[in-house]
Structure 1
């Protein structure tokens, strides 16, 4: 599977492009700030045709370029139902100081075609099957996307990072829900599952189970 990563101009947000290989259909995940021009160049160089944009959650650093990317390629945006409102008004997901971090003005319009996701749902896109894990805690609609069985990948968004987890102090966040998501949705995954996080380098579930202090604490508490 072809996995290309573009890092946004702000917040170090990872935008992923996934496909069977060059010259095929693809799925774009989390197009953040400043992604659109570089994404267009990548699609042209790899001869890729987007069929969908998938969003791990509704925060602006992950959705900033969703409307131009969807519009340019005439494709839908997918997001969990609990974060759907953040595509109508993304500032609901942040405190009052967020606008200064993304620029002095935000001319926001939501995509024309938005489809909502549900926990456990499966999407067949670009020759791949994406299974949705609803994992609230960072936001109410945070979701992880699982791909493959023999050599599994998981797009974890801002649920799980390499040696970290997503913050829970923004509107819609919940430390209790985050802990439950990590215990019920992350820890059961196979150790060899490769995680593609919303920020930072990729890792594996096994490496995080062993070395991520947050997961290590939950494993110890679960065994007690």
Structure 2
């Protein structure tokens, strides 16, 4: 399996490229602000052929370059229908300060990718990989986890791309438009904490971690927090 990641943009959101092997089809996960150039560089260096862009959710820092990446390779963008509107209206998902920054950067609207597809229920098969799409609303209405099997990393059964649902030591905020704290708590209890401990968590910001580590040490995954 090939896996690469890098942070990009003003909010340093993690973009990921994953493929079943080098010199193979790949998917691009969360190409945010200024990610397109590095995506092109990694694709060229490793002989990859992009097959799809996958968005964990619709916030600008995760999808700002989704149209540029997808349209340059003639591939679709997959996103949950509840967040699709954010592809063209990024300010709708931000607080006033963030919305003003985005408007200064790009204006009021973005161009939607040429081809946008909703995630299927259950499994998404693309580029020789099978992602289980796990809806996990709360940070946004359309947040998802993308869960994929791997047998190449000792001690790791699966990888979960978690977007802004859960990070190393924290979880996503719920005070932005489309966020909802009770819904987030339910997603943490019923989606995140039901994953196997041997799941590597690759979040939208910050370092990777594991479900086992977060179950023990993340204060937002402890019973007292989850009962709030």
TM-score, normalising length: structure 2: 0.92
Q: Superposed, which structure 2 residues align to 1:126-141 within 5 Å?
A: 126-141=127-142
Q: Say whether residues 1:71 and 2:47 are aligned partners.
A: no
Q: CA deviation at 1:95?
A: 2.2
Q: Superposed, which structure 2 residues align to 1:171-210 within 5 Å?
A: 171-210=177-216
Q: CA deviation at 1:8?
A: 0.6
In structure 2, do the counterparts of structure 1 residues 92 and 35 end up closer, same or farther at CA, with 3 Å as the change threshold?
Answer: same
Root mean square deviation of aligned Cα: 1.8
Structure 1 residue ranges without an equivalent (≥5): none
TM-score, normalising length: structure 1: 0.93
Deviations 1:160-197 (A, max 9, x none): 10111000000010000000000000111111100110
* Among 115, 118, 130, the residue aligned to 1:116: 118
Determine the C-alpha separation between the residues in 1 that align with 2:8 and 2:150: 29
Of 86-95 and 19-28, more deviation after overlay is shown by 86-95
Q: CA deviation at 1:81?
A: 1.2
Of 54-63 and 145-154, more deviation after overlay is shown by 145-154
Q: Superposed, which structure 2 residues align to 1:162-173 within 5 Å?
A: 162-173=168-179
Other structure's SS at 1:132 match: strand
Q: Superposed, which structure 2 residues align to 1:28-43 within 5 Å?
A: 28-43=28-43
Structure 2 residue ranges without an equivalent (≥5): 152-156
Q: CA deviation at 1:217?
A: 3.2
In structure 2, do the counterparts of structure 1 residues 73 and 215 end up closer, same or farther at CA, with 3 Å as the change threshold?
Answer: same
Deviating 4+ runs (over 3 angstroms): 99-103, 217-222
Other structure's SS at 2:96 match: coil
Q: CA deviation at 1:218?
A: 5.3
Determine the C-alpha separation between the residues in 2 that align with 1:97 and 1:196: 27
Q: Superposed, which structure 2 residues align to 1:44-63 within 5 Å?
A: 44-63=44-63
In structure 2, do the counterparts of structure 1 residues 35 and 149 end up closer, same or farther at CA, with 3 Å as the change threshold?
Answer: closer
Determine the C-alpha separation between the residues in 2 that align with 1:176 and 1:71: 37
Of 164-173 and 31-40, more deviation after overlay is shown by 31-40
Determine the C-alpha separation between the residues in 2 that align with 1:99 and 1:171: 11
Other structure's SS at 1:105 match: helix
Q: Do 1:183 and 1:218's aligned partners in 2 also have CA atoms closer than 8 Å?
A: no
Aligned residues: 221
